[in-house]
Amino acid sequence: MCGIIGITGDKEGMVSRLMAGLTKMEYRGYDSAGVCISHPEGLDVKRSEGVLDNLKETVKDMKDGTCGIAHTRWATHGPPTEENAHPHCDPQFRVAVVHNGIIENEVQLRQILIEANNNDCFKSETDTELVAHVLAQELDAECGDVVPDDEQLLAAWRRSLDRFDGSFSLAAVVKGRSDVILVARSFSPLILAHNEAGFLASDVSCLVGMVKEVCFIEDGDWGLLHKDRMELFDSEGNPVSRKSTKLQWNEEDAELGGWPTFMLKEINEQPAVVRACLQGRLSREALRGVKIPYKPDLVRIIACGTAFHAGMMARHYIEELSGIPCIVDHAHEFRYGTPAGPKALVLGVSQSGETADTLAGLMTAQERGYPTLSIVNVETSTIARQSDAILGIRAGPEIGVASTKAFTGQVLGGLLVALRLGRLTNKVHTEELAVISNAARRFPNAMERLLASTQLEQGLKRARRLFHDKNHAFFLGRNSSYPIALEGALKLKEISYIHAEGYAGGELKHGPLALIEDGTPVVVISSEGIIQQKLFGNAREVSARGARVIMIAVEGDEEAAAHADVVITVPKTHPLLQPIMHNVVCQLLSYHVAMDRDCNVDRPRNLAKSVTVE
């Protein structure tokens, strides 16, 4: 969602470096942006609605300084306009603030400030502007019109923070202090770093190439960022220091590298993700690196969006391989449900490791006394640090908003957890582990063969034509292919804006069949086994009502063509891995349909990559 970057102590190129940081955070999703440079004589603020190219025009003649903050906004309070873009200032332009999160007591604070001043003092509809007003008010109380020293800044900042309820990461600059940035974190992530200057950001990706180590400040931390040091305090006001961590990624990881879009690049990176995720963990004889403290009597999986679908795959794996019952919850609903049971394991799944709903669910689980394990891509994220144990999927930076390679990593993470549980319950033996390991070792090569195949290209070309001028589509699956149907539908709607629904094939006659009409595209995820004939029956049901069927089948399936208008085949692999192969086709189908409709596949409208507010 919203992105923050700040730099202090840099002697030249401040505006360009801030803009470079914002550019690296474009993938998160945004609808307006702005920059503030703090000069000794005052604050220079430039903002614009829309894409960063608009802001680049606005800041062309902006004077560089030694301290600045910048922001990309994803609208929550008020529409995406220049007036609502960050940074926000108080009426006297003494303070400028950028903010991720939500100030929950906004209404009460606004009324207090109106009574103290007047209604005309507000220039935006945002909750962020209140932070600037409150900080300016506290500075007036602390030191009047005098430029504050560090002690006065900290005193005013602490009192200001005490007045805010909600989740937020904040960065603020003050007129006359072009050497320091005020920082604070409550639930929402914030990162600090030094490399001949002081840096802050809400997303580690925007600091790649600028610093080699970063410091993830903890929930409740606040203080000052200088060019050569950070002065931090915890929520009780006690001085604290936080360890620095080496960055996992390099600058090349977040570049296009010759691909036309990040989404297509990341789809094609999936064979490498499989190799990286399984390396050193899965062998013929052993399973390493998956830590589960004891055999649970229940697994509760919590996740949102694409990660939720990966969680559904994990449930399938866990119940099949270990026999342990498993429940998959939307993370935002888990907190309000019943306790999990005396020996439950709570498994969180998140790409960014900053998903607010999943983080809150894991914290709820820990409050109830349950051990937590998280499958994450960013191993230094808040969720990773909050969890009792983690399993990193090693997918590298995922820039496209619609998750592709991270989903594959998350599914493999779920498989590794299931195998560990299967070993704990003695249901997975060395012989079966060897079979799965052998299949997994060959799997990336088979995926590369699929991605490079002419047959796939031709099949996609025929299939995408069926979506021309269509506004509705269906994806059908059963058993292990059902989560892939859900994920395929989500991808299509995310990037092409076609309304798509994923269903278990058996649900068709219980209502959804009423929506099938002449020409409706229906994608059937066909796997081998006892469910295949049932899916063929579902394909006949929709065909009889005018639907056009696209079937994703396994190579050598001679019967599939009798039940579909278009058949796209994938290499045959182990049944546990087969759904991942089918999903690659769903990703590419959605990609090409969206490109045919001239959609921005990397930054779809209204969406954010990392959902850091509930």
Token look-up 């914290």 returns 363
Cis previous bond, 293, omega within 30: no
Residue 374 amino acid letter:
S
| Chain center to CA of 328 | 19
**Active-site residue, selected from the candidate residues 46, 227, 493, 609:** 609
Token pair of 10, please? 């840099």
Angle at 353 between CA 351 and CA 354, to 5 degrees: 115
Mark whether 212 is an active-site residue.
no
- Quote the strand ranges of 352-426, DSSP E: 372-376, 389-392
How many distinct helices (H) and strands (E) make up the chain? 17, 25
Q: Residue 44's closest CA among 178, 164, 155? A: 178
Token look-up 């997303």 returns 203
Bridge partners (DSSP) of residue 8 are 67, 198
Name, in order, each residue with C-beta under 8 angstroms of 53's C-beta and a sequence gap of 6 or more.
none
- Quote the strand ranges of 357-507, DSSP E: 372-376, 389-392, 472-477, 499-504
Determine phi and psi for 541, rounding to 5 degrees.
-60, -45
Strands 191-194, 213-216: parallel, antiparallel or unpaired by DSSP? antiparallel
Q: What is the largest CA-CA distance in the chain?
A: 82
CA separation for the pair 50, 82 (Å, rounded): 9
Token pair of 336, please? 């309000």
Bridge partners (DSSP) of residue 48 are 33
Determine phi and psi for 215, rounding to 5 degrees.
-120, 115
Mark whether 609 is an active-site residue.
yes
Residues forming the active site: 2, 609
